[in-house]
């Protein structure tokens, strides 16, 4: 049985707890957070603590907290025989280098507590400070996911950057579209089949090949019409993205 201690109580920690508890060969034995009120979702199911010196012995200590606090928490885990992992996409594994056994366990997904996820489909990107620890980490990752990749810290930072474009920025586009719909009393759900088709299409063709719209056609009249309906902030966004599309596809203004 693989014993795990989770350090953190946010969205990812919540989902890690759920998937580990549903996996036969893994047991979460404790959850840590400095603030007891944030442990409310765990205290009826697992041992909790707000004191880091009272962590139980485990095979893995998984730090799932904001990036800026990882080094501080890790510094308090010296002497632990288990492997200490962080889950950040943007922080180098070297932030843990003062420990004996360490690595990275980075699930590439957007997590919300009220939205269930299928961990078997989530790519988990791993890295460790030794081949032995990497094999142990790989075993942990394969217990919950069918997609496990050995990714270096530099590659992971770039992957995280790409994910910001693919997820965070695209979601902001949905927010903008919803605002435009709301302003003109149009139900946003009318766009949802289009959004679903957009993501389905790139499973079979590259995103570059899938691009459509007035900018790739350099349809100036349509773009000028669109701009008439936008406030100044949305106009800037529309122009910037349209110009980038035109440049990418070699069209001339």
Pairing of strands 83-86, 148-150: unpaired
Supply the pLDDT for residue 11.
Answer: 92
Phi, psi dihedral angles at 129 (to 5 degrees): -85, 0
User: Average pLDDT in the 25-29 region?
Assistant: 96
* CA–CA separation, 107 and 128 (whole Å): 15
Residue predicted with more confidence, 22 or 250: 22
Residue 253's pLDDT is 40
Shared-domain flag, residues 35 and 129: yes
Q: What percent of the chain has pLDDT over 70?
A: 99
Which has more confidence, 161 or 43? 161
Q: What angle do CA 52, 53, 58 make, to 5 degrees?
A: 80
Task: Give the three-state DSSP class for 7.
Answer: strand
Which domain range does residue 241 map to?
Answer: 156-248
Tens digits of per-residue pLDDT, 77-94?
998 899 999 999 999 999
Q: Apex CA 15: angle with CA 129 and CA 110, to 5°?
A: 85
Phi and psi angles of residue 66, each rounded to the nearest 5 degrees, phi first: -65, 145
Q: How far is CA 225 from CA 49, 166, 186, 221, 246, in A?
A: 59, 28, 18, 6, 17
Out of 151, 179, 211, pick the residue that ends a domain: 151
Q: Is residue 253 part of a domain?
A: no
CA distance 123 to 149: 7
Q: Identify whether the C-beta of residue 57 lies closer than 8 Å to the C-beta of residue 81.
A: yes
Q: What is the mean pLDDT of residues 18-40?
A: 94
Same domain, 39 and 101: yes
Single pTM value for the model: 0.85
The DSSP symbol for 118 reads -
Judged against a pLDDT cut of 90, whether residue 112 lies above it is answered with no
Mean pLDDT of all residues belonging to the chain: 94
**Whether residue 115 sits in one domain with residue 26:** yes
Task: Check whether residue 127 and residue 187 sit in a common domain.
Answer: no
One domain for residues 54 and 127: yes
Residue 250 predicted with pLDDT over 80? no
Q: In angstroms, rounded to a whole number, what is the distance separating the alpha carbons of residues 198 and 40?
A: 39
Q: Please check the confidence at residue 56 and state whether its pLDDT lies above 70.
A: yes
pLDDT digits (tens, 9 = 90+) for 169-212: 999 999 999 999 999 999 999 999 999 999 999 999 999 999 99
CATH of the domain at 192: 1.10.1040.20
CATH number at residue 73: 3.40.50.720
Is 194 a member of any domain? yes
Task: Please check whether residues 11 and 110 belong to one and the same domain.
Answer: yes
Q: Is the same domain home to 16 and 109?
A: yes
Q: Are residues 129 and 238 in the same domain?
A: no
Statement to judge: residues 145 and 161 lie in one domain: no
For CA atoms 225, 230, 231, 236, the dihedral sign is negative
């Amino acid at each position: 049985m693989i014993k795990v201690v989770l350090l953190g109580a946010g969205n990812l920690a919540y989902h890690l707890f759920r998937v580990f508890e549903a996996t036969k060969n893994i047991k979460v034995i404790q959850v840590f957070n400095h603030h007891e009120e944030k442990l409310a979702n765990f205290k009826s199911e697992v041992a909790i603590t707000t004191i880091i010196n009272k962590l139980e012995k485990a095979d893995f200590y998984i730090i799932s907290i904001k990036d800026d606090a990882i080094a501080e928490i890790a510094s308090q885990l010296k002497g632990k025989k288990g492997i200490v992992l962080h889950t950040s996409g943007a922080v180098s594994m070297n932030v843990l280098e003062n420990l004996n056994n360490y690595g990275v366990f980075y699930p590439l997904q957007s997590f919300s507590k009220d939205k269930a996820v299928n961990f078997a489909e989530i790519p988990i990107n791993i890295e460790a400070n030794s081949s032995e620890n990497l094999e142990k980490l790989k075993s942990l990752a394969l217990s919950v996911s069918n997609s496990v990749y050995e990714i270096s810290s530099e590659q992971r930072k770039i992957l995280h950057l790409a994910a910001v474009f693919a997820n965070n920025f695209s979601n902001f586009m949905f927010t903008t579209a919803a605002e435009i719909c709301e302003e003109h009393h149009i139900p946003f759900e009318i766009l949802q089949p289009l959004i679903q088709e957009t993501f389905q299409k790139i499973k079979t063709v590259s995103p570059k090949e899938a691009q459509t719209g007035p900018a790739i056609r350099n349809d100036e009249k349509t773009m000028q019409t669109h701009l008439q309906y936008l406030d100044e902030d949305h106009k800037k966004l529309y122009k910037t993205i349209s110009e980038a599309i035109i440049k990418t596809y070699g069209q001339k203004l």
